Chain A
Amino acid sequence: MTAPVDIQNLSITFGTGPGAVKVLPSVSFAVAAGECFGLVGESGSGKSTVLRCVSLLTDIWTGTVKIAGKDVRSLPLRERCRLVQMVFQDPYGSLHPRQSVRTVLSEPLRIHGIGDRDARMRQALVDVGLPVDFLDRFPHQLSGGQRQRVAIARALILEPSVLLLDEPTSALDVSVQAEILNLLARLRELRGFTYIMVTHDLAVVDHMCDRFAVMQHGTITETLPRAAIAGNLATHPYARELIGASLEYEGHGRG
């Protein structure tokens, strides 16, 4: 059920020769099975791009990405979908407005030829803390937090081992964020998921992650344990600046 992720020399280059543009120069990191790994950095630093590469939503990259020891490029599409799933930032954009929750959740089951659909869909809703009669609702009948729960249920329904979380709570109010973070933490505890979580909020990293990487201009400047945040133990200047700004913003050291 649980799987490690190993990323080596992941890079994206446009063009060839001297005019080539390296969008993502080279990213390497490894995430242990069952670990929650954070990716932080400013907008445009490439953190979401890494997730899109791992899930092959973007496939113009070079390098190797291995999940549970298997190269994601050589995995058949169906097998890949059952290994890794993604939750997107904005639940207002990531759910089809004219598809009911039932349609959203049943489609992967149908594609993968999995039986016992009704029971599985109900279970998925229970897992994310929604009433089962929500199956017949449409996205406009749901609040932002409920939508994000549906998006998480959709990611869970194929029982993957790795979840890629792209700013899963940044579009939500703090009270709703707390519910979703609690849900994600509980699911990881129960099922041993491996999470790779992109966020801009170091307080969320501190709450959820074991380790995190600070990205800038498409490269990882530093990989740090969670404990390095509170005392700002980073050594790279940009990582220090980012952590320092987050601490100051939270009111640490303002007296």
Chain B
Amino acid sequence: MQGPILDVKNLSIRYHGASADAVRKVSFTLGRERLGIVGESGSGKSTVGRALLRLLPGATITADTLRFEDADLLALSEREMLKVRGRRMSMILQDPKFSLNPIRRVGQQVAETCLRHFPVSRAEARVKTLEMLAAVKIRDPERVHDLYPHEISGGMGQRVMIAMMLLADPDLVIADEPTSALDVTVRLQVLNILDALVRDRGIGLIMISHDLNLVRNFCDRVLIMYAGRVVETLDARDMDAARHPYTRGLLAAQPRIGGSRAPLAVLDRRPEWQEEMAP
């Protein structure tokens, strides 16, 4: 076991022209594990993910430490960052409809990862692409390879995205709401595929989501964010033992199958949550 894949200390992010930080003093480390980041819209969870890939032009990022394996993400030049982004660290976005190029065949887009990062011929890239499409359980890779994004379903599109990201054999994958655009039946299938690949290959995974059920079932550890801060860190299986009133409030607000039909608990937001930090 080596050191952590990712070491983040006191990460703060301020968007250009904003009067306050969108993310405030967030600290965590990530080993070869699955880490969930949950919170409501505007809590800063996606901003953290984007900052790690340095995808926030114009925003001011400060941190005591922002280390990815041997690289100091704050010190890397954009040229050096190109060798990290998409190769050693990659991101799966929410909706395949908007993240795939509509006028290029699916296979070409997946193969681009290979051609961009490795010295391979087009024929070799094609072989690797087909293997990867099969690994994400696409039944007829040869056929799907030549389809355009509008010809495939949402679940298949998201598996194509996963194939594209994993083809470079990264050490860290950041999945930003990878299944919120999918139907429940398809969602589980996609999550199980992602989960198996990430485990088999020993990839570190950050799962950004607003969905407590998802992180509970598919993560090892969970950070709960509120107003740009991490208010609580929990083992996913101990979610019901959460102590912070915000986490408890979120859990109670969720309707459950077989639950009571009494009015759902409503979150009573406290101003002091904005200033508290996880111990």
A residues bordering B, Cβ < 8 Å? 42-43, 144, 173-179, 181-182, 185-186, 200-204, 206-208, 229-230, 241-242, 245-252, 254
Contacts and interface: CB of A to CB of B under 8 A. Distances in A.
Contacts of A202: 184, 257
Given A173-B41, A174-B250, A175-B250, A247 B183 contact: no
B196 to A, nearest CB: 16
Interface string B221-260: 0000000000000000000000000000110011111110
B89 interface: no
Given A175-B249, A182-B266, A251-B213, A206 B257 contact: yes
Contact of A200 (B41, B154, B184): B184
Interface of B: 40-41, 154, 183-188, 210, 212-214, 216-217, 249-250, 253-259, 261, 263-267
Contact of B183 (A42, A144, A173, A176): A42
Contacts of B217: 249, 251, 254
Contact of A173 (B40, B154, B213, B255): B40
B180 to A, nearest CB: 9
Report the 3 A-B pairs with minimum CB-CB distance, sorted nearest first. A207-B255, A178-B264, A178-B253
Contacts of A204: 255
The DSSP consensus for interface residues of chain A is helix
Nearest to A238: B185
B263 A246 contact: no
27 contacts: A42-B183, A144-B41, A174-B210, A174-B254, A175-B250, A175-B267, A176-B40, A178-B253, A178-B254, A178-B265, A182-B263, A202-B257, A203-B255, A203-B257, A204-B255, A206-B256, A206-B257, A207-B255, A207-B259, A230-B257, A245-B184, A245-B188, A249-B184, A249-B213, A249-B214, A250-B256, A250-B257
Given A203-B254, A203-B256, A203-B257, A178 B184 contact: no
Contact of B257 (A144, A200, A246): A246
Contacts of A177: 253, 255
Nearest to A42: B183
A203 B267 CA distance: 19
Contacts of B257: 202-203, 206, 229-230, 246-247, 250, 252
A144 B41 CA distance: 10
A181 B264 contact: yes
A173 to B, nearest CB: 4
Given A173-B40, A175-B40, A249 B188 contact: yes
B184 A246 contact: yes
A250 B251 CA distance: 12
Contacts of A242: 184-185
A208 B154 CA distance: 28
B188 A179 contact: no
Contacts of B40: 173-176
Contacts of A176: 40
